[in-house]
Amino acid sequence: AQTVTQSQPEMSVQEAETVTLSCTYDTSESDYYLFWYKQPPSRQMILVIRQEAYKQQNATENRFSVNFQKAAKSFSLKISDSQLGDAAMYFCASPAGTYKYIFGTGTRLKVLA
């Protein structure tokens, strides 16, 4: 079965510091996208960043960047200059067959003032 693993149930970071959330995936797709989503207490899932697997360059969106290691099937999210508003659950997602994505179990990020 195709899987997505987030091995860190909870992480803490000091405001203005940098934190990295881990994700490994196992997909048999040859061409795919990977995603990180953020779910704050409001429960709205918000897209953080997308990585196209055929691109070697790591995706970056402002303070958010990924470290994509295709051979290792690793897709970690780095948040720089952490802000209080970054506190949320973070989910990574990977394709799992046709017309279906699966999500990791999530990492709860706490930002300490």
Partner 1 sequence: KAGVTQTPRYLIKTRGQQVTLSCSPISGHRSVSWYQQTPGQGLQFLFEYFSETQRNKGNFPGRFSGRQFSNSRSEMNVSTLELGDSALYLCASSLAFPDTQYFGPGTRLTVL
Q: Which residues bind partner 1 (CB under 8 A)?
A: 29, 32-33, 35, 37, 42-47, 50, 91, 93, 95-106
Q: Which is nearer to partner 1, 16 or 97 (CB)?
A: 97
Q: Which is nearer to partner 1, 14 or 60 (CB)?
A: 60
User: Minimum Å distance from CB 84 to partner 1?
Assistant: 22
Measured distance CA(17)–CA(43) in Å, rounded? 25
Q: Which is nearer to partner 1, 81 or 97 (CB)?
A: 97
